[in-house]
A and B are shown apart, each in its own frame.
Chain A
């Protein structure tokens, strides 16, 4: 399957600082990427859909100004958690949409564990 990377894999930051997480599709171009959040022992919750060259589409209840998404190229989307607080501590997972001639597939990154002190 296709490879999606995330960087960093773990980050610890102080409350009030901003953190940027990168999601890259390594061997295919992705006009659409997705950002999920996963709390311990819970499911993946979609935060937003990242669209190359246009604004992201956020799910209901997700603060756009807090979770900034930039999809500046066909292989890179970034999620910036601004003014992070301890309640933002979570596991963040991205996925990239591979569009084939007959089907579409979402390939997931390995995730980023964010801890806000």
Chain B
């Protein structure tokens, strides 16, 4: 079974600065998807960014970008120009591409991000 590890329970960043959240995963599969989800205090899960494993190019979405290192099984999230609204729990997630896995997501334990004024 796949596992997703987030080794940073909490992180903090100054407003307008850059922060990187770490995620590693374990899998024997070659094709899969990786995601970063944000869960603000409202508890609504929001997709931040998604990466297909077969793509070498790192995904970017405005201020959010990833550093995907397939060989190292690492998938970090960089948030640039941090804003107060970025404060939330961030979850890294894995999804297999194997038939029969029904698109299930495996989540990491989360990193709580605080944004300081």
Task: Using CB atoms and an 8 Å cutoff, list the residues of chain A in contact with chain B.
Answer: 1, 32, 34, 38, 42-46, 49, 57, 91, 93, 95, 97, 104-106, 108, 110-111
CB neighbors of A among B32-51 (8 A)? 42-47
Asked if residues A49 and B43 are in contact (CB atoms below 8 Å), the reply is: no
Query: DSSP majority for the B interface?
Result: loop
Query: Which residues of A lie under 8 Å from residue B43 when comparing CB positions?
Result: 38, 91, 93, 110-111
* Complex contact A42–B109 (CB within 8 A): yes
Please judge, given known A-B contacts A1-B47, A91-B43, A111-B43, whether A106 and B105 are in contact too, CB under 8 Å.
Answer: yes
Closest to B93 in A: A44
A1 (CB) vs chain B CBs: closest residue: B47
The A-B contact count (CB < 8 A) is 41
Contacts of B109 in A (CB 8 A): 42-43
B44 surroundings in chain A (CB, below 8 A): 108, 110-111
Residues of B within 8 A of A49 (CB): 102, 104
Taken together as a complex, chains A and B put the C-alpha atoms of A38 and B105 apart, in Å, by 14
Q: Which residues of B contact A44 (CB under 8 A)?
A: 45, 91, 105, 107
Q: Interface size of B by Cβ–Cβ distance < 8 Å?
A: 16
Give A3 to B27 CA distance when docked, in angstroms.
Answer: 31
**Is A34 a contact of B104 with CB atoms below 8 Å?**
yes
A-B contact pairs, 10 of them (CB 8 A): A1-B47, A34-B105, A43-B108, A43-B109, A43-B110, A49-B102, A49-B104, A91-B43, A105-B47, A106-B103
Contact check, B45 vs A32: say whether CB atoms are below 8 A apart.
no
Q: Which residue of B lies closest to A46 (CB)?
A: B104
- Give the distance in Å from the alpha carbon of A79 to the alpha carbon of B91 in the complex: 24
Chain B residues with Cβ below 8 Å from A91 are 43
Interface centre among A42, A93, A95, A106 (most CB of B within 10 A): A106
CA distance A68 to B102 in the complex (A): 19
Whether A32 and B91, one on each chain, are in contact in the complex, defined by CB atoms closer than 8 angstroms, is no
Chain B residues lying within 8 Å of A43, measured Cβ to Cβ, are 91, 107-110
B42 touches A110 (CB 8 A): yes
The residue in chain A whose Cβ has the minimal distance to the Cβ of B43 is A111
CB closest chain-B residue, reference A107: B47
Tell me the minimal C-beta distance from A49 to chain B in angstroms.
Answer: 5
